[in-house]
Amino acid sequence: MSNCVQNSGSNSFDTAKGLIQTVRELNLEIETSEFFSLLGPSGCGKTTTIRCIAGLENPDGGDIVLGDKLVFSRTQNRIVPVYQRNIGMVFQSYAI
Ligand SMILES: Nc1ncnc2c1ncn2[C@@H]1O[C@H](COP(=O)(O)OP(=O)(O)O)[C@@H](O)[C@H]1O
Ligand SMILES: [Mg+2]
């Protein structure tokens, strides 16, 4: 993976039961070639975080940088689509 940074990113889902905040002010930096594992109990926001990095989910705020490319920023109104992020993802549940 190329260098990846997510700065103070937050994500929430608007549901019938109200607004559910899934990721709150996450700061994460993964170095080039680093093997990084995201561990935590079920429902803590691992998949949502990965989906935000891949571009399948748009956080409420914060910046996401992949390598030297700013791929997401609310303040700069920038959302690079998933197919332009040059990122691979293996899904937990296949959708084939
Ligand atoms: N599309 C969605 N709509 C509403 N709530 C969601 C959605 N996706 C995930 N959630 C909720 O967000 C929380 C984090 O989910 P998730 O990122 O899948 O956790 P993990 O991968 O760590 O098990 C859970 O409470 C889950 O129910
Ligand atoms: Mg998951």
Dihedral (Cα; 60, 61, 63, 66), 10-degree rounding: -10
Enter the tokens of residue 32: 């080039």
What are the tens digits of pLDDT across the range 6-58? 666 777 878 777 777 778 888 899 998 999 999 999 989 899 999 999 999 99
The protein residue whose alpha carbon is closest to atom 27 in ligand 1 is 43
Does residue 46's CB lie within 6 angstroms of at least one atom of ligand 1?
A: yes
Contacts of 69 (CB under 8 A, 6+ apart): 80, 85
pLDDT at 4: 64
Closest CA to 87 of 55, 40, 44, 41: 55
Does residue 23's CB lie within 6 angstroms of at least one atom of ligand 1?
A: no
Mean pLDDT of 68-86: 94
Does residue 38's CB lie within 6 angstroms of at least one atom of ligand 1?
A: no
Domains located in the chain, CATH noted: 4-84 (3.40.50.300)
Mean pLDDT of 61-90: 92
